[in-house]
Structure 1
Amino acid sequence: METQQTHDSPSNTVLEVLRTMSDFAAATSNSPEYTQQATTAADAVSTRFLGLEKTSLNILFGKTIIVAFFAQFVLFYIAWWFNPSFTKNRRGLAWVLTLCSACWLLFTTSSEIGYLRTPLWSYLGWEQAGLVGPDGATTTANIFSYWLPSFHAWALQLGASSHSSLLQDMTFENLLLSLSSVESAKVLLSERFTIKVLAGQYLRWLMSLPFFSLAPLNPPQLISETAPYFLGGGGRLLLSLENFPRESVWSSLLCGYFVAYCAADLVIGRMHYPEHIDPASGYIHHLFYTWLIWQLGRHGQLSIFLICGGVLEVSTIFLASGYMYPHLREDFWFPSSFFLVRIVFVGFMLHETIFNFNTPSGGCVIYFLALLMHIFWFNKYVQGLKRRTRRAQKELQEKQEQEQQLVESNSDDKDGGVRYTAATATATATTNSTFQLRVKKTKSRS
């Protein structure tokens, strides 16, 4: 009896594979782990948009971008309507939106300036956040700890080897009392370490002032939600990194407006002033900062943009005003403010990010690149200022030469006129005398 072998057709094999996969998927989908992972993934997708978490501040950030984008067109055409001269001055027209953006950034960051912020936020009843550091004695930061360590060590040890009990107890309060009598003054001035002790006390007091607490703190600070803004009894001035990140309405409004400005400036620029959109300060600058703000928004750190946002725009206000209204342009305010806020201040912030405070990945690199770019811009401005100065001097010299030639030509004309008048008078006198001589000869003949 022959044994009959059955062979599955290809179609039956495919159906079996699909049925097996379906059964496996059904069994896997009913497992608790898979259900939890799917729910978490769905929640993550539903709570994020373009990589940004859908928080109230990020939603405000997105709405600000939309509203401010259309507001840029309104501001632009209103400014053009009030200043018809921009039709010919397209370079000034190109700076209208930049001036509005600079003013807005400066306004929104004004609440973050050192001691000005503390009473303002306390008055409004907003939460205070800062960093917890060691006790006040060690948090009295020393600006020389990185820049001039040898001077720092010398100042702290200055006069410490004095053997006089009088000098060891000497302070500024009892100094005048010690000089009140002749005997005590002689004793004080006879000590060879007097000047060193007094100088050391003065320097130690000077380095405990708030200004010098801008330097790196050691050991590193820890983030706390309840610590005061300023540490060590002196505090940190300007826009200290110890107060960031702290998300707020201001950070969402500022970053949203700036992204809208970058987009609108490129769109309007293509329509009305394409020849004045510089590749470096236009396309690259706007696209880079849009990407940077998006990265900060992804990590919930939009407030970091408040650190330098308004401060750096001080010089922009002078530059934009000079282009929009050439009669207001001066070669002092813009370069001086640019040097202070975009080179000195950014250099200080780079120092902070390297030595003092932890920043997001690449934070110090961004400050370093910004500092290099600002130095390049400043050098470019100085070179342009030199060219304009040489051109103005050359034009002035040519004008003076033309005026001198005109004066000389007028002098020659006057001299020529005098010589012509004298020659004419001589010729006339000769003619008259000849005529009179002929008349006399005629009379004598007759």
Structure 2
Amino acid sequence: MRKRELGILLLSAFAIFFSLHHGGDFSFDEAWLHVTDEAPVKYEAERLPPPLVADLNGDGRPEVLVATHDAKIQVLEPHNRRVDEGFSEARVLAEVSLLPDKIRISSGRRPVAMATGVVDRSYKHGEIKKQVLVVVTSGWSVMCFDHNLKKLWENNLQEDFPYGAHHKEIAISISNYTLKHGDSGLIIIGGRMEMQHHSTVDLFEELMMSEKSELHRRSANEKEDSTNSATADLRHFALYAFAGRTGAIRWSRKNEKIQVQPSDASQLIPQHNYKLDANALNSRHPGEYACREFRESILGVMPHHWDRREDTSLQLAHFRRHKRKLTKKMQGKVNQFHQPVENNPPGMDRSNKIARAIDKATKIAGSAKTKKRSQYVPTIKNHTQLWWVPNVVVAHQKEGIEAIHLASGRTICKLHLLEGGLHADINGDRVLDHVQMRGAYFI
């Protein structure tokens, strides 16, 4: 009996020692690799988008999508290797060129962003979901491909942006939400441009810039009146919404010139207005609200972090306005001026028992608290998926977040946040916190 107990004790001690010694260990083994002709990147604008991992054809095996410097998108299939093998070359399943079909010009066709997603709604449980691929090039050509890399549609938006500018921010949103009956999904493209240095412009783009400047010089007299009455917003975040399968533009928010609204100087000078605050200095366009009106919804789309171009993202969400709590009635404020209470109102006979009973029942019914209505938000059920009906698209940008009305593209609110670090509600007090990490390296 003692030998068996001793054996169990030794076995338990060995199991505890083994679990504590190897519980948190992990290792990386060689799997696969893919060699590309990597060109030296001198500027941030020349950097390619990072690879994507997605299941395009819905067969349950993910593929890897890689962009190349010669304006191509490659689909890779990682090998299922054995344990004793090392790195193995990933097989290229398919590739597609982003160059035009007739004129093979590579200028403006370098990919800067790409994303995959499902635009078709599934009505059967276990139905295979095939994804589409959306690519945005440096020349603002938006292309959509199906799961076999067959081009569905292409739109060029270069006319809305000046030549010699590069993408400072770019984001793509793909969903099966539709804005118009008959559409299949919704694709939203958003980005902000920045002027490019002349040393990074090639010969072809320089010729295009000279032709463009000549056209602007010819039409300067025609647009002089509109130029004087409006100013361009250099920090404008352009947005475009397309139908998923056809590419038809549903709405757009271009880099248009915004009319400057005249304001009273007495409302902006602190000496003239003692109620001036930061909200008064932060001008808003007509129809735009302050973000404190949607404080719970703002916290719902957090965290926010921006460090490079790929951190810009578009997120569908449902925004609701904040409901303020009603102030409680303090005792003693009902009869603040000691008004006499009429015990015998005209038209009522206090000697009648039936009248007094009806009056008492009426007072009890009137003083009863009404049952609070539940805050109902319509939802869409797609078998195993359940989500709120989106009414805004939230853009996580370098300067902060911006909520845009999903049906019209109108700005709902903007929240400017400091760059660097993480913005989130850390301690759960419904107040947005800013977390930054600082440290030093020691040798």
TM-score (norm 1): 0.20
Structure exhibiting the larger radius of gyration computed from Cα positions: 1
The higher-RCO structure (CA 8 Å, 6+ apart) is 1
Structure with higher helix content: 1
- Structure number having the greater strand percentage: 2
Q: TM-score, normalised by structure 2?
A: 0.20
